[in-house]
Structure 1
Amino acid sequence: MAPMQMIAVNKALRATMTKDDFDRADLSAQRDRVLESVRTLIIGATPESGSTSQLPDLGVTPAVRHDGHFFIYPSRLSAHVRAMIDTGMAQFLAIEDEAKAQNIWARKRIKFSAEITEIYRQNDQFSVISDIFVSQHGPTMNLIRDFTDFHMLKLLPVSGVMVLGFAKAYQLEGLMLDIAAYLRES
């Protein structure tokens, strides 16, 4: 089926669907596959209200998952990281690799808002997560592990949206980004 026909069919189906018309277990598995497939997260953080700019600062950082949570280890020297630490909130985007996407226009992705909690160096979890960074992203973590401008941050999702293709968008809620609703309109 041609992409335009697929869009029309999906739109027609979506117009008649209710929240009970989708398989939460299957969607949860697809959500987990998207989250497990990413090695980096795109960050959007808006500076505090006293800032000269009200536009979000953007960045990207390696990420790891442990016990169902994302952890990042970014440098406070970046404006988006300062904004994220100062406000305790940010938005994140986990997006399918371009090279693996069936259609560049319909890459699978999850956008979510999250509260930020810092894992301090003296916390035992800091070492555990640092070792996971080394195993998943290589020895650079050993080099930057003691740099004081870097902060280990745990992301605590609040809500989000998962897009699995044309007319396949779902509202996510809570710490585990549970499937909450099928989105019928943008």
Structure 2
Amino acid sequence: MQMIAVKTASRATMTQDDFDRADLSAQRDRVLESARTLIIGAAPETGSASELPELGVTPAVRHDGHFFIYPSRLSAHVRAMVDTGMAQFLAIEDEAKAQNIWARKRIKFTAEITEINRQNDQFSVLSDIFVSHHGPTMNLIRDFTDFHMLKLLPVSGVMVLGFAKAYQLEGPMLDIAAHLRES
């Protein structure tokens, strides 16, 4: 068995075949598919007096393996992520369903953001998906011009499935890359 030490963002990892990628991929998909909302963290807007990240939450849908959100640019976190084209997102297990509140299943990922133009056929399809997943409010806000349909393209992330069960994720499909062993 070959072990390779990797240092990424102050987190040491070891890559080895001591975990079942297919099982972990299925668990990742369950966490992502059960997420009705995503928590957003974005770098503060240029010129902001605060250096702290802008935070928010928004309903989300998954379609063709991608997350889409439809937030209002009136919120500082949305302006910040649209301006930079990148943000961090958190999909987290419902508290009521968690076996242990200290070890809720969650996936944090960094994603590039692209806007879906309202004239694009995909905008209408995605709007209908939002209605079916989140109810008729989407019909009300569909034509509000401060709202933007955004596609998230993951770059990297971390999945936590419990104590000592953290995994590095990579690429647009958030592929399982390594079992994180040290902080």
User: TM over 0.5: same fold?
Assistant: yes
Q: Quick one: structure 1 residues 120 and 102, their matched pair in 2 at CA, closer, same or farther if it must change by over 3 Å?
A: same
Q: Quick one: structure 1 residues 20 and 75, their matched pair in 2 at CA, closer, same or farther if it must change by over 3 Å?
A: same
Runs (5+) with no aligned partner, structure 2: none
Per-residue deviation, 1:51: 2.5
In the alignment, is the contact (CA less than 8 A) between 2:123 and 2:149 conserved in 1? yes
Q: Quick one: structure 1 residues 177 and 5, their matched pair in 2 at CA, closer, same or farther if it must change by over 3 Å?
A: closer
User: Is the partner of 1:63 in helix, strand or coil?
Assistant: strand
What count of residue pairs does the alignment treat as equivalent? 183
Give the aligned partner of residue 68 of structure 2.
71
In the alignment, is the contact (CA less than 8 A) between 2:3 and 2:15 conserved in 1? no
Q: Which has the higher helix share?
A: 1
From 136, 139, 142, the equivalent of 1:142 is 139
Per-residue deviation, 1:93: 0.2
Output the TM-score relative to the length of structure 1: 0.90
C-alpha RMSD of matched pairs (Å): 5.4
Per-residue deviation, 1:20: 1.1
Q: Which has the higher strand share?
A: 2
Per-residue deviation, 1:185: 1.1
Output one character per residue of 1:23-62: Cα deviation in whole Å (capped at 9) or x when no partner: 1000000000000011000000012443222210100000
Q: Distance between the aligned counterparts of 1:166 and 1:148, measured in 2?
A: 44
Q: Distance between the aligned counterparts of 2:48 and 2:10, measured in 1?
A: 45
Q: Quick one: structure 1 residues 60 and 8, their matched pair in 2 at CA, closer, same or farther if it must change by over 3 Å?
A: same
Output one character per residue of 1:48-105: Cα deviation in whole Å (capped at 9) or x when no partner: 4432222101000000000000000000000000000000000000000000000000
Q: Quick one: structure 1 residues 170 and 141, their matched pair in 2 at CA, closer, same or farther if it must change by over 3 Å?
A: same
Q: Distance between the aligned counterparts of 2:93 and 2:2, measured in 1?
A: 23
Q: Quick one: structure 1 residues 11 and 173, their matched pair in 2 at CA, closer, same or farther if it must change by over 3 Å?
A: closer
In the alignment, is the contact (CA less than 8 A) between 2:15 and 2:177 conserved in 1? no
Give the aligned partner of residue 109 of structure 1.
106
Q: Quick one: structure 1 residues 91 and 13, their matched pair in 2 at CA, closer, same or farther if it must change by over 3 Å?
A: closer
Task: Select between 83-92 and 12-21 the one with higher mean Cα deviation.
Answer: 12-21
Task: Select between 49-58 and 153-162 the one with higher mean Cα deviation.
Answer: 49-58
Percent of aligned pairs sharing the same letter:
91
Q: Quick one: structure 1 residues 25 and 14, their matched pair in 2 at CA, closer, same or farther if it must change by over 3 Å?
A: farther
Per-residue deviation, 1:5: 29
In the alignment, is the contact (CA less than 8 A) between 2:12 and 2:182 conserved in 1? no
User: Is the partner of 1:8 in helix, strand or coil?
Assistant: strand
Q: Distance between the aligned counterparts of 1:134 and 1:181, measured in 2?
A: 37
Output the TM-score relative to the length of structure 2: 0.91
Q: Quick one: structure 1 residues 146 and 11, their matched pair in 2 at CA, closer, same or farther if it must change by over 3 Å?
A: closer
